[in-house]
Amino acid sequence: MTEPTRDAFEQALDTREIRGRSLYVDAWHRLLKNKAAVVGLVVLAIMIVLVLVGPMLSQWDHEIPDWDHYSTPPSLETGHLFGTDAIGRDLFVRTMIGGQISLLVGLLATLVSLIIGVTYGAVAGYLGGRADNIMMRFVDAVYAMPFMFFVILLMVVFGRNIFLIFLAIGAINWLDMARIVRGQTLSLKNKDFVEAARACGATEAQVIRRHIIPNLLGVVIVYVTLTIPQVILVESFLSFLGLGVQEPLTSWGALVNEGAQELETAPWSLMFPAGFLAVTLFAFNFLGDGLRDALDPKDRL
Amino acid sequence: MRSPVLKVRDLHVHFRVDAGSFFRHDYHSIRAVDGVSFDVFPAETLGIVGESGCGKSTLARALLGLQRAKGGSIKWLGDEFVGASEEFLRKKRREIQIIFQDPAGSLDPRMTIGEIVAEPLKTFFPSMSRLQVRERVSGILQMVGLRGDQINRYPHEFSGGQCQRVGIARALVVNPRLVVCDEPVSALDVSIQAQIVNLLKDLQKKLQLSLIFIAHDLSVVRHVSDRVLVMYLGRVMEVADRASIYHAPRHPYTRALIESVPIPDPVRERARARRSLQGDMPSPLHPPSGCVFRTRCPFAIDRCAAEVPELEQLEDGNRVACHLHRELPPGPLPEVDQVNEEPSPT
């Protein structure tokens, strides 16, 4: 009675292809075991949903003032959950809109630096020799330029524009990315599997695309999660200086700037945006640390 | 007379070592491969042995055009490789493939076994359909002794021996005529070594492959090779068929190598008068004058320091590069009390 079932079982074993666990799946499982990282991930998810959905749920608009309430504290009765600012705009909605802008700047500017930095760094590292030397000296030269001066110059020449902010921040951040990626590529290109790919007739471009870049991903993901909060901070700083997004749009940095001016009369207008900003930065950093540990378990020794 | 598939003549591969200061551009040349010549015939195995650092791997890489040669000639079925364009060499790599020493290191950790073996197919036969590629890959995996259901697994889920089988599958999937095996078993356990070596021999018979089998010990090479080439410091010391190398080695270096092979019998091993070579290989930056082996050779005479010995063709077809090979006493090497003095760097 048992014989036929076992045969069937073995047959099933023979025909079923075993799905291997890739290194990324392994890393994902390790990440899920890291409490701080999971908390960071969940907080970020909630934050993104809140920031996107929040303004739709509120009866107020981020531009139009509520003529009956200037600088009122948070209250359920008036419907201004976070209170209003000096000209009567609802702070809850403005914090959410500010969050949208801040996260968008963080993501897009990082994306810009990611694309430029990874390509540049991988090419420089893979080619090596004189090409590498020239490319990296260029990076050093750009590094030496005063960043704030550069951004202010851009703003003055081209006017304040949100895309300019992505570009300006991305154009500075790719330098770090390029350096990290180059270093990683230098160690990868001497691995046997790169040589094997060349022996299999792959062109230089194919080697970079198929073998170098996929193997860089781990480092890059970690760096991205640590760059996003950095970029958000830079944008806040620019907004604080009055160089960031233009009214009536806002960002967390701009809100913190406004709130700081009314700190004595309306402390809530500083508290809420600053709190959201801080929680988001924490979450990103926890997630980044968790990812680093998960993707590179050997480095923890 | 069969004609060789691969003809290597007077091959030189040099590396530059920076020696200049910040202001002065200067470099030394290391002659990793220094005037090597040999032939490989269809479906034969040429063993290449020598100590670490004697230029074996550089030679292997130069044969595939992965390392540019400085001079000489590599003729593959009438095509000259030295000085050929990168594009041309890339196409020709379908016919010459390589198996690496580090089984796991030569497989991309982010790719599945199936993707790794399919990669050369994708570059050399872009017109193949996905189904054809898949069939070919699972066929070749079975041929090297892996189960077809392992196709979606990743290299870190395999043992060293299995990884080396994947490496072999990747080399054979495009039907090459010559496979260069760069110490394919050095990183494996002895029991696995035998499996891999036998697998290579079986596949060679089945596919009529020519093999170049590189190793640093003679016992493995003895098992696979038809002919053996002995290298020392980038030069050929002796080329001979298997029987002559083991039973009548002519070059003192070959004799020393054979005497250093352990006998798997403790009684005989202990009884044997073993004369291992004294000292280390000299720096390839400052090779000895004349015969490169003279600093460690128990028979060295003045002539060895003055004249570079030619690779002499003997009556039986074997070749040896030694001034004294006709006069040397047979039997075990004499004891050497001290190492001959090193050449002073000039």
Q: DSSP class of residue B128?
A: -
Q: Considering the domain boundaries, does residue A183 fall inside one?
A: yes
> What does the pLDDT average to over A63-71?
68
Which pLDDT belongs to residue B210? 92
The 10s digit of each residue's pLDDT in A191-227 is 888 888 888 888 888 888 888 888 888 788 888 888 8
Mean pLDDT over residues A248-253, rounded? 79
CA-CA distance, A253 to A234, in Å (whole number)?
9
Distance CA A133, CA A111 (A): 25
| CB atoms closer than 10 angstroms to residue A133 | 12
A209 part of contact set with chain B, CB < 8 Å: no
Residue B40: what are its φ and ψ, rounded to 5°?
A: -125, 130
Count of domains observed in chain A: 1
Using a cut of 0.90, tell me whether the model's pTM lies above it.
no
* Among the listed residues A50, A53, A31, the one whose alpha carbon sits nearest the alpha carbon of residue A40: A31
Do B119 and A197 make contact, defined as CB atoms within 8 angstroms?
Answer: yes
pLDDT in tens, B27-63: 778 888 888 899 999 989 999 998 888 888 889 989 8
In a domain, A6, yes or no: no
- Give the contacts of B162 (CB within 8 A, at least 6 positions apart): B146
Range of the domain at A260: 26-64+77-299
Average pLDDT over residues A83-104: 79
Q: How far apart are CA A254 and CA A257, in angstroms?
A: 5
- The pair of three-digit structure tokens given for residue A294, joined into one six-digit string: 């998960």
Least CA distance to A203: which residue of chain B? B90
Is B100's CB within 8 Å of A200's CB? no
Residue spans of chain B under pLDDT 50:
337-339, 341-342, 344-346
Is position A17 within any domain?
Answer: no
User: How close is the nearest chain B Cα to the Cα of A199, in Å?
Assistant: 6
Residue B328 backbone dihedrals phi, psi, to 5 degrees: -65, 140
Tokens of B340: 């001959």
Tokens 């700190």: give the residue: A263
From A184's Cα to the closest Cα of chain B, the distance in A is 15
* β partners of residue B45: B211
Q: Is the pLDDT of residue A297 over 70?
A: no
What confidence score (pLDDT) does residue B333 get? Answer: 63
Alpha-carbon distances of B40 from B104, B180, B212, B315, rounded to whole Å = 29, 11, 8, 20
pLDDT at A66: 66
ipTM of the complex: 0.79
At B140 the three-state DSSP class reads: helix
Predicted local confidence at residue B337, as pLDDT: 47
Q: Is residue A19 part of a domain?
A: no
| Residue A21 covered by a domain | no
pLDDT at A20: 65
Whether residue A190 lies inside any domain: the answer is yes
B137-175 b/e (C-beta count within 10 Å ≥ 16 → b): bbebbebbebeebbbebbbeebebbbbbbbbbbbbbbbe
Tokens at A242, concatenated:
């009055």
Cα separation, A188 vs A121, whole angstroms: 12
Pick the residue from chain B with its C-alpha nearest to A201. B90
- Cβ within 8 Å, pair A17-B152: yes
Task: Report if residue A70 sits inside a domain.
Answer: no
Q: What is the pLDDT of residues B200-243, one digit of tens each?
A: 898 999 888 999 999 887 888 888 899 999 998 888 999 988 88
Phi and psi angles of residue B230, each rounded to the nearest 5 degrees, phi first: -105, 125
Contact list in A for residue B101 (CB cut-off 8 A) is: 192
Separation CA A184–CA A173 (nearest Å): 17
Going B50 to B52 to B55 to B61, the CA torsion angle's sign is positive
CA angle A267–A271–A273, rounded 5-degree value: 130
pLDDT of residue A80: 67
Question: Dihedral of CA A121/A126/A127/A130: which sign?
Answer: positive
CA–CA gap between residue B152 and residue B116 (Å, rounded): 10
Chain A residues 164-183 with CB within 8 Å of chain B: none
For B78, the token pair is: 């009438």
* Helices A35-57 and A268-295, axial angle in degrees (round to 10): 140
Q: What is the CATH number of the domain that holds A125?
A: 1.10.3720.10
Domain contains A7: no
Phi and psi torsions of B240, nearest 5° = -155, 160
**Above 70 in pLDDT, residue A9?**
no
pLDDT at A148: 75
CA dist A37 and A222 (Å) reads 12
